[in-house]
Structure 1
Amino acid sequence: MWVKNIFLILSVSILLISCSKKNIKEDVILEESLEMQVLEAYEEGMKALNSNDVLFAAKKFNEAEILFPQSEWAPKSALMAAYSYYKQDYYQDTIAEIERFLRIYPNHKNLSYAYYLLGISYYEQIVDEKKDLQSILKSKKIFQTLIENFPSTEYAIDAEFKIDLINDILASKEVYLGRYYVDRKKWIPAINRFRTVVDEYDETIYAEESLHRLVEIYYLLGLEEESKKYAFLLGYNYQSSQWYEKSYAIFDKMYELNKKENEIKKRKQNSLLKKFKSLFE
């Protein structure tokens, strides 16, 4: 009886081992088959992208990702789908794809590129900075994240350049509004706008004008010390600029007259020197 039991146990064990090997073999075959399907879908996506059929390309890249999410091709396909949309200026679709990529693959090696593509997609939507700041502020925030987390990448270098341009846009908006308030003699909101430029966008081309406007407004309000403070800043940083000359003229009413007289004297001196020189020729 015990011999039969042993034989039965051995038979079941052999059967289980055989089934296990069969399952492993089937899993390997299935994985290889999925890998081939993924590659085929990816290659079709690349061909469509090169032919500028971006919608079909994005569809094939999404298909490649869905077929085998565990494959190394899945995150690549997700990024290529996003790029396909970006290539045709479908920025909202690009943003949706990248945001999904960041949720699913938060530790992927190409995160720097993903953030860059996301930032650029918002940046390219900047149309009128005077009306809508949403795209501007979002792109700036994303580029700052990129620079902080991936400072040594080529994308971070371009992101810094883009932030400089964004700051110019934001500063121009503040100056535009400041001028608007000056024209209507609304001094306090005008001061707030120009101070924002001086405090937050001091490296932009609008800093000089903003300093001068503050000199001008404070002088009109009778706050000469405040006016002189900003005039000093303007002179210290931009002494050769036209805005410094205008600010200086506020405190020296004879400045323009003296300037003209000096130019006349200089011309006369040059004329005399030429006459004197001609005597020896």
Structure 2
Amino acid sequence: MSRFLNFLIILFFLYSCSSKDNEKVSVISDGELEIQMIEAYKEGMRELEKGDVIYASKKFNEAELLYPQSAWASKSILMAAYGFYSQNYYDRSILELERFISKYPKHKNIDYAYFLLAMNYYETIVDEKKDLEPLLLSKEKFEYIIQNFPETDFAQDSKYKLGLIQDVLASKEMHIGKYYLKRKKWVAAINRFKTVISDYETTVYVEEALHRLVETYYKIGLTDEAEKYASVLGYNYQSSKWYEATYIIFNKEYETSLNTKKDKKSVLKKFKNIFK
């Protein structure tokens, strides 16, 4: 019995020593991984500063894979995303950011991730005649930032960007409306101009939209409707060039007098030039 007890004690002792040795090996292994990860991250930063975003992003991804449970892993994803964004690789930046948002939804820098995501879409906006998808996606992301991170600087920047996006969207509506107007598709044109007034009332295109409504209604003989919108334009934008254009629609003699004045100025200018 005593021999068996001694055997158990020796076995327990050997197991304890083995566990401690394994633990030491594990600690050393984790420490080495962290050192390698930090070095990979630093190398990524150096390459990013040089402008080699492809190699930099490769090192950031390497740092993340070496030690995924470290705080450096999330930083690595964000830096890879920023690197791609800085060199106009928007699709790759978006992929990195979507992965970050999915993996770290409660991260302290999640607001920055959403803002950079919105900026990636924003940068791909060309003009009002091109694809609307990036414009609408950026609008959605900026609105999300304002709603969920209202006290941040990113929210302030998002509000400014939304204003610019509203201008582009209004411009798109005006472009389509004038297209229909040229082709005498009156109802389609009217609907587009009304959309500008109702949905983009803070943009610079409201004045022209009101004028185009006056112009369109007048052409199809709905004078009362034309006068209604002319009144709105006159009340709010009387000093506008579009109000003057609207005034001409109802007062052809005014247009004639304007042309006469311009002709007189032209003649006077030529006359003065003779005696220079």
Superposed pair shares fold, TM > 0.5: yes
- Aligned pair count reads 261
Match of 2:135 in 1: 136
Distance 1:4 1:225 in 2: 114
Match of 2:124 in 1: 125
Match of 1:82 in 2: 81
- Identity within the alignment, %: 54
Task: State yes or no: 1:227 paired with 2:226.
Answer: yes
Match of 1:276 in 2: none
Distance 1:35 1:81 in 2: 19
Match of 1:270 in 2: none
Distance 2:5 2:229 in 1: 100
Which moves more between the two structures, 7-16 or 183-192? Answer: 7-16
Q: Which amino acid aligns with 1:210?
A: A
Distance 1:73 1:205 in 2: 46
Contact kept in structure 1, 2:197 and 2:206, CA below 8 Å? yes
Distance 1:47 1:250 in 2: 65
- Within 5 Å, give how 1:162-177 maps onto structure 2: 162-177=161-176
The CA deviation at 1:201 is 1.0
Distance 1:190 1:248 in 2: 21
The CA deviation at 1:257 is 7.3
Match of 1:216 in 2: 215
The Cα offsets for residues 126-185 of structure 1, whole Å up to 9 and x where unpaired, read as 224303111111111111111111122212211211111111111112111111111121
TM-score under structure 1 length normalisation: 0.84
Q: Which amino acid aligns with 2:201?
A: D
Distance 2:239 2:57 in 1: 54
Match of 2:148 in 1: 149
Distance 1:12 1:233 in 2: 96
The CA deviation at 1:251 is 4.4
Distance 1:233 1:142 in 2: 34
Residues 259 and 41 of structure 1: CA distance in aligned 2, closer, same or farther (over 3 Å)? same
Match of 1:179 in 2: 178
The CA deviation at 1:79 is 0.6
The CA deviation at 1:256 is 5.4
Q: Which amino acid aligns with 1:114?
A: A
The Cα offsets for residues 204-232 of structure 1, whole Å up to 9 and x where unpaired, read as 11110001111222233333343333223
**C-alpha root-mean-square deviation of aligned residues, in Å?**
2.3
* SS of match in other structure, 2:88: coil
